[in-house]
Structure 1
């Protein structure tokens, strides 16, 4: 009979713990902007390419519509973005930044720099870890 690995030996637990720790590090930086972590991700995606459909955002952010739609509604109510029906396909909703959402771009861009300011993690280590995680994600 094989002995199962301990909790600390579980990859899933290491990933879960790291994700929670990262989100906790982001929280004070995002609180200053009045954003949650998922809202921050939506803004990053829209800064890369504005005018995406909800479906496209969901695919890129790996969020289902049940999670994404209320998030986008809250962001629209806060004046950060607008949601409109596509002229080409009324079933599709297009998400675009408002002037207020676009104006946050510079402040949002400062968030990653503040994340590791008090640690000894290097940019090269972060890049290597990100690449390895992206490769791992593609494999599973």
Structure 2
């Protein structure tokens, strides 16, 4: 028997709530939902400084949002500037974070890091969320 419209809506609302909770767990900006073309959308910042992340799948959105800000200092990974090859700094803010952009992105885009922040196991992290779901630690490349 085919799925009724109410079952489809329930599934979509559950997926929306799951993605929203995952984005909150990784401090991933303001979740804007899905666009009419089917892409998923989250916004960081306000006004002219706003940055929108738009992806095809909700899993990809969570991974990119997790790597957008440093988990230690909270500043944008794109805002870390290299002083020398080994040191970084956040512009205009005293920051004790010693990680480079590549290190932050490599660590925070893994399934293990996101699952730890969300308080879930790796297996149940993206359960109920559409998109290519793998059990390996795939990483976002920026």
Give the structure with the larger strand fraction: 2
TM-score range, shorter chain: 0.3 to 0.5
Larger radius of gyration: 1
TM-score, length of structure 2 as denominator length: 0.33
TM-score, length of structure 1 as denominator length: 0.33
Give the structure with the larger helix fraction: 1
